[in-house]
Amino acid sequence: MGLLALGINHKTAPVEVRERVAFAPEHMWQALRKVVHDLSLDEVVIVSTCNRTELYCVSELEGSRA
């Protein structure tokens, strides 16, 4: 099993960068489906607020990108 956690927040990037990686609520399902499909993942959690964006990904596939 592969686990990937990545994120950006107000301490690691200016607001201009955080705005570019933020997920709007109305686009969340589309983003989740795209990440799962494009990276061959089994599970994905996206946390996106005004100060941070985090992705937690799990894959059971050997050689997956997670």
Q: What is the pLDDT of residue 66?
A: 53
Is 57 among the residues known to form the active site? no
Higher pLDDT, 34 or 63: 34
- Reduced to 3 states (helix: H, G, I; strand: E, B; else coil), residue 38 is helix
2-59: what fold?
A: Beta Polymerase; domain 2 (3.30.460)
pLDDT in tens, 3-58: 889 999 999 999 999 999 998 999 999 999 998 999 888 999 999 998 999 999 99
Sheet holding 43-48, edge to edge: 2-9, 52-59, 43-48
- Reduced to 3 states (helix: H, G, I; strand: E, B; else coil), residue 3 is strand
The CB density around residue 5, as the number of other CB atoms within 10 Å, is: 10
- Reduced to 3 states (helix: H, G, I; strand: E, B; else coil), residue 15 is helix
Q: What is the pLDDT of residue 65?
A: 54
Judged against a pLDDT cut of 80, whether residue 62 lies above it is answered with: no
**Catalytic one of 10, 50, 60, 65:** 50
Q: What is the pLDDT of residue 13?
A: 96
